Copies of this chain bind each other. A is one copy, B any other.
């Protein structure tokens, strides 16, 4: 059955059914009126973020499934909430899709969101659906909350603060490279999580592909860093470390010096980079879509961070230090000299 046969109203009813009205404490009205209504509290601030995925630009349907697109759309928005130290609560989905598309594609798209929505207790409370002449377009908005005193901005890093990242860097970029080189053949193999798990043994670099298709928003980490008052500045790595670190430094009006030797690289990426005869640090510095957190910690809070690292199994790695603004954003080269970190992140519209 395609969407022309189902029609918009039945499609909306279908979506509603797959996201049952949750008994979310503060939700007054969810799907089905002109606007969603949320009771607010004066001890919490509201966080609002939005991210847009466009077919042929942000994803390629020959390389990934509808489910993976749905997953990723929600994950990247949750990642923005994580980067403020917040707790996500609600989301709205705007979808434009060609009428000839199969209803099951739309089902899969929303299924991709369901698991994450359940895991992080975020409720679907609104959206809009439209047909699209050609390309698929998916826009999500996530609303979250945070105690005003716990908020972590991009601006806030001070000279001498240490620079940290969560997880490992560069995996997503390598995963995308593999997907592209394998073309559509890999789509089937990565279509379900189970297949990826199986693939982890059979397919040589399935873990890297998985990191690209199923980025994990670092909500637990971001929340812990915020509530413990550890992070002086924070953002999530969407365009690549080099580019996002520059962004954090610009907002904080500081410089930075990082040591590429300390960049956390996964064993899979080490093997893959070796196989491709490239430096793994290139993937870590320039690769986008890792959705790890980049944050700074004042020296006085380092001891507490190390404590938590052990007690909460927090996977964080120090990669550098905040320097005066006039020194710019640089990295240590092999010979011990400082080298400017070039702006190499992803930018829309630019000719590549």
Contacts and interface: CB of A to CB of B under 8 A. Distances in A.
State the number of copies, please. Answer: 2
A314 to B, nearest CB: 20
A151 B36 CA distance: 11
A349 B11 contact: yes
Contacts of A37: 45-47, 84, 146, 151
Interface in A320-349: 347-349
A345 to B, nearest CB: 10
Interface in A25-69: 28-29, 32-42, 44-58
Contact of A40 (B32, B40, B151): B40
A251 interface: yes
Interface in A118-155: 125-135, 137, 139, 141-144, 146, 148, 151, 153-155
Contact of A132 (B35, B44, B54, B92): B54
A8 interface: yes
A134 B136 CA distance: 11
B154 A34 contact: yes
A30 to B, nearest CB: 10
Contacts of A128: 50-52, 139
Contacts of A131: 54, 57, 348-349
A4 B28 CA distance: 44
A239 to B, nearest CB: 10
B80 A34 contact: yes
Interface string A242-265: 000000000100000000000000
Contact of A130 (B33, B52, B127): B52
A90 interface: yes
Interface string A89-117: 01010111001000000000000000000
A313 interface: no
A9 interface: yes
The 8 closest A-B pairs by CB, nearest first: A40-B40, A35-B49, A34-B83, A56-B133, A8-B348, A34-B80, A3-B349, A52-B128
Interface of A: 3-4, 6-9, 11, 28-29, 32-42, 44-58, 80-81, 83-84, 86, 90, 92, 94-96, 99, 125-135, 137, 139, 141-144, 146, 148, 151, 153-155, 235-236, 251, 347-351
